[in-house]
Structure 1
Amino acid sequence: MQEFKAQTMKKSAPGTKGGLNAEIQARIGHQLRAMYDDVVRQGVPDRFADLIKKLDDPQRAAEAATASDTNSSTEGRD
């Protein structure tokens, strides 16, 4: 990180606002793409996929909500 700061400070011309030069912007972009690609490769967890399917199908979502209400109203009554 210190190396990154040193490069940023070193390459800024006197009297400029201190923005990032094209080389540093490209490096940041490359690293962000690599991180994003890794996240995309992980896929969607099954529980999220199930939730998305329920939300996509309104009738299924209504049935799930009804079942959830029934379960929560009977819990704790032993």
Structure 2
Amino acid sequence: MKDAKSQMSKGPGPGKQGGLNAEIQSRIGHQLRAMYDDVVRQGVPDRFADLIRKLDSPEGGGHHTAKTDGRE
């Protein structure tokens, strides 16, 4: 068990390249962009937009109106 851990922690051996090749990096980047674009297209839910408007309003002022139990 110790031998397997020590071999894994040493990283790639001599002559071996670590990391991902350019093709794999490109594929991952493309998939991440597609997922991110989908999330951006969804927009901000109405309840979040309302909450942000309330916090930005002068009477919101960032003060807490709800009672707390003393923990933050």
TM-score (normalizing by structure 1): 0.55
Larger proportion of helix: 1
TM-score (normalizing by structure 2): 0.59
Structure with greater contact order relative to length (CA < 8 Å, sep ≥ 6):
1
Unaligned residue ranges in structure 1 (runs of 5+): 1-13, 70-78
**1:54 positional shift:** 1.2
Percent identical residues: 75
Unaligned residue ranges in structure 2 (runs of 5+): 1-13, 68-72
> Which aligned segments of 4 or more residues in structure 1 are displaced greater than 6 angstroms?
none
Q: How many residues align?
A: 53
Question: How large is the Cα RMSD of the aligned pairs?
Answer: 2.3
- SS across alignment from 2:50: helix
